[in-house]
Amino acid sequence: MINMIRDFLLEPVILIGGIVFLGLVLQRKNFETVVRGTLKSMIGFMIISVGGNIIAQSVTAFGEMMQQGFHMTGLILSVEGISGIAVDLYGSDIAIIMVLGIVVNLVLAKITRFHYVFMTGHQMLYMTCMVVSVLRSAQLRGPAFFILGSMTMGIVMVFSPAMIQRYTEKICGNDTIAVGHFGGITYLLAAWLGKIYGENSRSAEDMKFPKKLAFLRDSSIIIAVTMIIFYVVAARACGSAFVESELSGGKDYLVYSVSQALTFTVGFVIVTTGIRWFINEIVPAVKGIADTWIPNAKPAVDCPVVFSYSPNSLMVGFLSSFFGGLVSMGIMIACQVTVIFPGIMAHFFCGATAGVYGNSTGGRRGAVIGGFINGVIMSVLPEIFLPFLGELSAQHVTFPEPDIGLVGIFLGKYIREIGSIGTLIILIGIVIIMILIPEMIENRDEGEEWFQYDMNPALKNKEKEEKK
């Protein structure tokens, strides 16, 4: 009986359903809404696992073709793909850490000046998948596993939107909303570089973009086209004999490669459908809890919230980011290291957002530089933190978001060098800094931010002139 109760409570879909149920009840929703929301979130979480299984099978064949044809390992940037696989492997741990991370986020939003409540549920899920994978690969178990995981999640969910808020406010024209997307470090870098190198550059919004590029916003079509190209190139490289004898069971190698590419796309669509069901229910639930406990909470929402303000900038940023990924891929092939294949959706969302932030300070030049730097970083970081991913490092698909990569490197490196206790002390120190010295990130009460002042000599010169 005790084992049955324990298994019931630790079942990931039950935990997810529980948090949604609580949030809807706190909002005093009617019985029908509570039941529908709870069940849809649970079904969506299970759908993610199913899609992850499909993607895992298709990328295994891709990895074998890459190894045979080019004698190197290749990884596709697809956060949906790697997260689906992670949910299938570590579902219970992911559910627990995600729920505890939400709690830590709410606590930090309550006790610090950074009242950011992270509302982008799928990004939350992706970061949790990475954190759990890194902690599991470091052989952490028990209380240390859950404390480190939840604190990491809570801190990054507050810190990521906070560090770019000054630029988000400039783009949106108000301070009522924040961006909750784990590309924050490259968005900050894009805005900073745009300020330095984009002087006198006209806004990307003055450009006219061809309407023919609108198809790039259809995610399933562009994923299918990209994957077909990747799989066919890999199949051609290793030859028909290998594919037909070792992988396809006699089916024509080109037909097989196209079918595997489409299988990847089907897995992607299934995962994103599950995420949509899951997120559509858990986000209102978390908001219900936040509104009850933190009346002045500032929602951190998905990056497309800034797209409508700069539609041209997002296309410039996306194309520049994808080009940066292609350049990085070429260098990796030449150096005979693990090759990171650019993922269209990853470069679209992160690259486009970097373009918007770069344009906000440096016009079209800032958008190009911001997007390109984002593309390079998204290729380099996965290469660095790959050894920390444990079982996921062999899946031929990986996490693209820059913040996820940085957090993965931090956790993987410090847990191995100073242990779980030392890493926990660092996290506690970060929390203390957030409570006692908030000016390090945003100081809206006293003049210009330290970051802007120190990194922009023009502000110092202006101050000197005013004193004279």
Report whether 28 contacts 46 (CB < 8 A).
Answer: no
Is residue 367 within 8 Å of residue 313, measured between CB atoms? Answer: yes
φ/ψ of 398, rounded to 5, equals -150, 175
Task: State the number of CA atoms in the 13 A half-sphere of 402 facing the CB.
Answer: 25
Is 325's pLDDT higher than 70? yes
Minimum mean pLDDT among 96-100, 184-188, 342-346: which range?
342-346
Computed over its alpha carbons, how large is the radius of gyration of the chain?
A: 23
Task: State percent of the chain over pLDDT 70.
Answer: 84
Is 338 exposed, middle or buried (CB count within 10 Å of its CB: 0-12, 13-18, 19+)?
A: middle
Q: Which pTM value belongs to this model?
A: 0.76
Quick one: CA torsion of 301, 305, 307, 308, rounded to 10 degrees? 180
- pLDDT at position 81 is 83
Cα 287–chain centre separation: 20
Give the DSSP H or E segment for 208: none
Helices (H), 198-252: 219-238, 240-242
Mean local confidence (pLDDT), 245-273: 84
pLDDT at 186: 94
| Residue 135's pLDDT band (cuts 50, 70, 90) | very high
How far, in Å, CA of 184 to CA of 116, rounded?
14
Q: Contact 261/231 with Cβ under 8 angstroms?
A: yes
Enumerate the β-bridge partners of residue 226.
none
Q: What is the pLDDT, as a whole number, of residue 445?
A: 42
Whether the predicted pLDDT of 5 surpasses 70:
no
> Stretch 19-32: mean pLDDT, rounded?
80
State mean pLDDT over 295-302.
Answer: 78
Whole-number pLDDT of residue 190: 93
The pLDDT confidence band at residue 323, using thresholds 50, 70 and 90, is: very high
